[in-house]
Amino acid sequence: MSDLQMKCLRCSVDMDPGYLADGGHGVNSEVAKWVAGAPDVRWYGVKMKGHDQIPLSAYRCAKCGYVEFRAIAATDI
Residue numbers at the binding site for Zn ion (CB under 5 A)? 8, 10-11, 61, 63-64, 66
CA distance 59 to 44: 32
CA distance 52 to 70: 15
Please report how close the Cβ of residue 62 comes to Zn ion at its closest, in angstroms: 8
Length of the chain: 77
Please report how close the Cβ of residue 3 comes to Zn ion at its closest, in angstroms: 20
Output 55 or 57, the one with its CB closest to Zn ion.
57
Output 13 or 31, the one with its CB closest to Zn ion.
13
CA distance 18 to 42: 31
Output 34 or 66, the one with its CB closest to Zn ion.
66
